[in-house]
Amino acid sequence: MADLDGNLSAKQFHPGTPSARFTHGIRGADNLDWGMQNRLARILEPATGRTVMLAFDHGYFQGPTSGLERIDLNIAPLSELADALMCTRGSLRTSIPPSTRAGLVLRASGGPSILKELSDEHPAMAMEDAVRINADAVAVQVFVGGEHESRSIRNLTGLVDAGYTAGIPVLGVTAVGKELTRDSRYLGLAVRIIAELGAQLVKTYYCDEGFEDVVAGCPVPVIMAGGKKLPELEALTMASNAVRAGAAGVDMGRNIFQSASPRAMMLAVRAVVHDDLDPQDAYELFRTASEARVPA
């Protein structure tokens, strides 16, 4: 039986001290359930609301990709430097050690390959499996303005409903097809629609003009998509511009795993996102780490 003496003499109630209020820097999350806030805090640094996500979900529609031929060899060693991993459940189960401490964002939509019309996506996993895997969020592609816009919206809202049941956030990804323009007017429309329909996170592309308005008009964290492979200094400059315009961080794939030194690039990107390091200084960090043959 428990010792009751301590209970009988308890005195440290501090009646003159207001109840503690726990705050964080994650935008738009204050009214979410505890479990959902906890999962978001595994993806984004709670103090700053920023994240460096490592994306390697490309194989779900384009098969083997340069740099992703062996995820167990090329990506798994980088996971310790990522705040979160953006991947498919298949690559996670086969190629990433369960001991990883990084947040997990699972691709939950898909269907067509690069041989077909990419906008014709459907739900590709059940929320129950996300719970089984212990995911921190699921990601769904949303084709605002595309041929299958309404279908992708239904994919989003269905996952949002299931996510509230399970306490798992949804990351809405703005898809930009050949017929859509990556300007602030379109991106601002897309991210706002995704947030209004319930996504707790939005991932979108960077645009040179008006990106700060895109972010300001979205009530949840906006994470910049890395996009195509760029020279390292250009990628670091884009990441810096995005976070200084209010983005909650970056989700980079090809600009990491197709770099000449992926681990050095991860260090440089982290310095830009979390330490606000100037892009040129971050590039020098990349060069120094590359020349020092930082182990992969």
Amino acid at 139: A
What pLDDT score does 283 carry?
98
The span from the CA of 84 to the CA of 101, in Å, is 9
Could you tell me if residue 30 is inside a domain? no
Q: What percent of the chain has pLDDT over 70?
A: 91
Q: Dihedral, CA atoms, 129, 198, 53, 181, nearest 10 degrees?
A: 120
Could you tell me if residue 104 is inside a domain? yes
| DSSP-derived pairing of the beta strands 103-107 and 249-252 | unpaired
* Mean pLDDT value of segment 164-190: 88
The span from the CA of 77 to the CA of 163, in Å, is 30
Please, what sign has the CA dihedral across residues 201, 205, 211, 214? negative
* Mean pLDDT value of segment 173-192: 84
- The contacts of residue 188 (CB under 8 Å, 6+ apart) are 210, 213, 214, 217, 218
- CA terminus-to-terminus distance, the chain: 54
Q: How confident is the model at residue 115 (pLDDT cuts 50, 70, 90)?
A: low
Domain tally, the chain: 1
Could you tell me if residue 4 is inside a domain? no
What pLDDT score does 110 carry?
79
Could you tell me if residue 290 is inside a domain? no
- CATH number, position 88: 3.20.20.70
pTM of the model: 0.92
Could you tell me if residue 283 is inside a domain? no
- 207-261 pLDDT, tens digit per residue, is 999 999 999 999 999 999 999 999 999 999 999 999 999 999 999 999 999 999 9
Q: Number of helices (H) and strands (E), helices first, in the chain?
A: 13, 10
Q: How confident is the model at residue 265 (pLDDT cuts 50, 70, 90)?
A: very high
User: Out of 33-37, 162-166, 168-172, 288-292, which region has the weakest mean confidence (pLDDT)?
Assistant: 288-292
Could you tell me if residue 18 is inside a domain? no
Say if CB 134 and CB 98 are below 8 A apart. Answer: no
What pLDDT score does 296 carry?
43
124 vs 13, 58, 61, 171, 296, CA distance in Å? Answer: 51, 14, 12, 14, 32
The span from the CA of 207 to the CA of 185, in Å, is 10
Could you tell me if residue 8 is inside a domain? no
Could you tell me if residue 68 is inside a domain? yes
Please, what sign has the CA dihedral across residues 114, 115, 119, 124? negative
Average pLDDT in the chain? 92
Q: How confident is the model at residue 116 (pLDDT cuts 50, 70, 90)?
A: low
Supply 73's token pair. Answer: 């060899």
* Mean pLDDT value of segment 10-31: 89
The span from the CA of 92 to the CA of 81, in Å, is 16
The span from the CA of 242 to the CA of 222, in Å, is 10
What pLDDT score does 206 carry?
97
Which residue from 54, 92, 30, 38 is spatially nearest to 249, judged by alpha carbons?
Answer: 54
Residue 158: give the domain boundaries: 35-258
167 vs 38, 139, 161, CA distance in Å? Answer: 9, 14, 10
- 121-166 pLDDT, tens digit per residue, is 788 999 999 999 999 999 999 999 888 888 999 999 999 999 999 9
- 100-112 pLDDT, tens digit per residue, is 999 999 999 876 6
At how many degrees (to 10) do helices 262-275 and 232-244 cross? 20
What pLDDT score does 6 carry?
57
The DSSP element (H or E) to which 250 belongs, if any, is strand 249-252
Catalytic (active-site) positions: 203
* Mean pLDDT value of segment 180-188: 87
Which residue from 223, 172, 164, 176 is spatially nearest to 193, judged by alpha carbons?
Answer: 172
The span from the CA of 84 to the CA of 68, in Å, is 17
Which residue from 206, 176, 208 is spatially nearest to 190, judged by alpha carbons?
Answer: 176
